[in-house]
DNA sequence: CTCTTTCAATCGC
DNA sequence: GGCGATTGAAAGA
């Protein structure tokens, strides 16, 4: 709790109001500080990423050793969705999604992804540790996290916007990365689709490198007009785990008489949406 | 009922 | 290796 010593102070150009205390005297020669202090003695350096309708902040918020430790724990402890929850239909054909995916969050929240309603699994200590650091560095509290694991550079995610309809109005989305660095691309909605190359005055794509221990904060209204993707990178051979934190306001329907909703996992199939055979 | 949005692989350059 | 264009059924507004 006091490991990542911070104190409140307004700092221009920062996404949050919090900033770590500067501890310059710690690096005296001959008296190395305890490893736990050394490993967290980092002040995040924020980079603001802005364009027309795009407002993001990026910083590495974990030291190398913290990130190494967290990455190992994530690899050991996470169990990703499988079966119907990891398949998607595109242009009439069914595919395994080109990555692994799992959701954790407060009980009774739901999350819709490509027509499938996911119930998040309960929080794990390593996830709460990450969430707490994000809160310390941004001032925002999140109640849900969608985790994507990219085995190597062939795993990817196509262009999409994060659906803000289910999020609390105006709340940002925090994307935290561990493992291999990967390119990340924003494209404006008007720059997509056929013929867009010829259009004058179009907005150029914005490319970022998401690093081990890095946090990308996507502020409103970024996700309204800008799409983002994690493109294939054939030369990347190592895995990356990404955690997208959000503040959801969608609790499972019911609540009419305060009855706790039964965990629907998988949700009762109201439609035939998960079956490829029937046609 | 109509309209909009969404996903990933494949092919050509 | 990378990028743009192309492929449609299903869901939700």
A270, closest nucleotide (Cα–C1'): C11
pLDDT of residue A154: 98
Distance from residue A193 (CA) to nucleotide C3 (C1'), in Å? 13
Alpha carbons A245 and A143: distance in angstroms, whole number: 7
Digitized pLDDT (tens) for each residue of chain A, 279 residues in all: 343 333 333 344 455 544 444 444 444 455 555 555 444 566 899 999 999 999 999 999 999 999 999 999 999 999 999 998 999 999 999 999 999 999 999 998 887 777 777 789 999 999 999 999 999 999 999 999 999 999 999 999 999 999 878 888 889 999 999 999 999 999 998 888 765 555 566 789 999 999 999 999 999 999 999 999 999 999 999 999 999 999 988 776 444 344 444 433 333 333 333 333 332
pLDDT of residue A59: 98
Q: What is the pLDDT of residue A7?
A: 37
Q: Which nucleotide is nearest to A98 (CA to C1')?
A: B8
Q: What is the pLDDT of residue A194?
A: 63
Cα A222 from Cα A1, distance rounded (Å): 32
In total, chain A counts a number of residues equal to 279
Write down the pLDDT at residue A238: 98
- Residue A154 CA and nucleotide B10 C1' are separated, in Å, by 15
Q: What is the pLDDT of residue A214?
A: 98
User: Tokens at residue A179, please?
Assistant: 């493992």
Q: Is A15 helix (H, G, I), strand (E, B) or coil?
A: coil
| Interatomic CA distance for residues A45 and A59, integer angstroms | 6
Tokens of A6: 């911070």
Q: Measured in angstroms, what separates residue A55's CA from nucleotide C11's C1'?
A: 30
Q: Is A192 helix (H, G, I), strand (E, B) or coil?
A: coil
Query: What does the CA dihedral A129, A22, A42, A10 come to, rounded to 10 degrees?
Result: 60
- Stated as kind and residue range, the H or E segment containing A35 is helix A35-38
- Whole-angstrom distance, CA of residue A274 vs CA of residue A277: 9
Footprint of strand C on the protein (CB under 7 A): A 89-92, 112, 115, 153, 165, 193-197, 205, 231-235, 271-273, 279
How much is the pLDDT for A11? 42
Q: Tell the residue number behind the tokens 């310390």, with chain if given.
A: A136
Cα angle, residue A159 at apex, residues A253 and A94 outer, rounded to 5°? 70
The answer to whether A250 and A166 have CB atoms below 8 angstroms apart is: yes
So what's the pLDDT on residue A76?
98
- What DSSP state is assigned to residue A153? T
Q: According to the model, what pLDDT value does residue A90 have?
A: 95
Backbone angles phi, psi at A163, to 5 degrees: -70, 110
pLDDT for residue A45: 97
C-alpha distances (whole Å) from A220 to each of A50, A152, A165, A214 are 12, 30, 12, 20
């Amino acid at each position: 709790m006091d490991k990542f010593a911070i104190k409140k102070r307004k700092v221009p150009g920062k996404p949050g109001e919090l900033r770590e205390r500067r501890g310059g005297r710690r690096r005296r020669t001959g008296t190395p500080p305890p490893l736990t202090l050394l490993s967290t003695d980092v002040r995040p350096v924020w980079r603001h990423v802005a364009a027309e309708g795009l407002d993001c902040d990026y910083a590495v918020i974990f030291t190398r050793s913290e990130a190494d430790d967290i990455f190992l724990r994530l690899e050991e402890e996470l169990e990703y969705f499988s079966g119907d929850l990891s398949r998607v239909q595109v242009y009439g054909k069914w595919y395994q999604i080109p990555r692994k995916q799992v959701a954790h969050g407060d009980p009774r929240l739901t999350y819709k992804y490509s027509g499938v309603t996911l119930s998040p699994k309960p929080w794990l200590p390593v996830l709460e540790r990450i969430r707490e650091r994000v809160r310390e560095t941004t001032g925002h509290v999140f109640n849900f996290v969608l985790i994507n694991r990219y085995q190597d550079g062939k795993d990817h995610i196509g262009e999409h916007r994060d659906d803000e309809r289910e999020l609390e109005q105006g709340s940002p989305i925090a994307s935290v990365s561990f493992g291999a660095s990967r390119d990340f691309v924003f494209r404006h909605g008007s720059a997509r689709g056929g013929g867009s190359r010829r259009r004058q005055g179009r907005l150029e794509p914005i490319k970022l490198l998401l690093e081990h221990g890095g946090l990308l904060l996507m502020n409103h209204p970024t996700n309204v007009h800008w799409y983002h993707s994690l493109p294939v990178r054939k030369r990347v051979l190592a895995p990356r785990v990404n955690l997208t934190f959000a503040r959801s306001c969608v609790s499972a329907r019911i609540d009419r008489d305060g009855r706790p909703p039964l965990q629907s996992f998988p949700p009762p199939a109201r439609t035939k949406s998960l079956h490829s055979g029937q046609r």
